[in-house]
């Protein structure tokens, strides 16, 4: 945990603090933002540090956090922060039997046209299926729905 003190101020309707550069340099951003957890005067929070062009990263402090930390804009508060690295989303492999059946029925491209979330749901479900006959049964359902032009393909 990294500790610092900062004056809370308002920018527009938002309440925030500027993060010390010495702290943010120790935290590599993900897609420009830095996910953190920490405390304000001992009150716990989970937030995202936001970059501001030509200025330090900014930590927004909402009303609930201000109340929990027993502080207000204009006051100097004690902060602790620690970077939280977001989990990498798990990828699910397509079972070889499903790929073979989709290709055989010329709907592999249709499967690829489903939303990534729908593909993930199907592949996640099938990742727990161990019986080849069950995979084939589900493949038949998927194929019939894809041939019918359905975009909201679900199994079981």
Q: Does one domain contain both 32 and 9?
A: yes
Q: How many Cβ atoms sit within 10 Å of the Cβ of residue 34? A: 24
pTM beyond 0.85, yes or no: no
User: Residues near 5 by Cβ (< 8 Å), separated by ≥ 6?
Assistant: 76, 77, 78, 79
Contact between 28 and 36 (Cβ < 8 Å):
no
Strands in the chain per DSSP E: 2-7, 9-11, 14-18, 34-40, 43-52, 55-60, 76-83
Whether 155 is covered by a domain: the verdict is: no
Is 90 a member of any domain? no
Last residue of a domain, one of 60, 83, 106: 83
Strand order of the sheet with strand 76-83?
A: 2-7, 76-83, 34-40, 43-52, 55-60, 14-18, 9-11
**Has residue 89 been placed in a domain?**
no
Is 106 found in the same domain as 63? no
Nearest to 68 by CA among 43, 34, 102, 51: 43
Q: Which CATH number fits the domain that encloses residue 18?
A: 2.40.30.100
Total domains in the fold of the chain? 2
Per-residue pLDDT of the chain (156 residues; tens, 9 = 90+): 899 999 999 999 999 999 999 999 999 998 889 999 999 999 999 999 999 998 899 999 999 999 999 999 999 999 999 999 876 667 888 988 899 999 999 999 999 999 988 999 999 988 888 888 888 999 999 999 999 888 878 776
């Amino acid at each position: 945990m990294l500790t610092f003190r900062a004056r809370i101020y308002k920018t527009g309707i938002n309440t925030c603090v500027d993060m010390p550069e010495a702290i943010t340099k120790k935290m590599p951003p993900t897609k420009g933002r830095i996910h953190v957890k920490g405390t304000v005067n001992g009150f716990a929070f989970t937030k995202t540090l936001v970059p501001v062009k030509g200025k330090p990263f900014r930590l927004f402090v909402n009303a609930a956090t201000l109340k929990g930390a027993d502080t207000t804009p204009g006051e100097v508060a004690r902060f602790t922060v620690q970077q939280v690295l977001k989990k990498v989303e798990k990828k699910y492999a397509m079972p070889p039997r499903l790929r073979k059946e989709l290709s055989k029925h010329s709907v592999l491209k249709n499967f690829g046209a489903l939303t990534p979330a729908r593909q993930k749901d199907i592949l996640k479900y099938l990742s727990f299926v161990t019986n080849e006959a069950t995979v084939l049964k589900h493949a038949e359902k998927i194929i019939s729905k894809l041939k019918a032009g359905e975009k909201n393909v679900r199994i079981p």
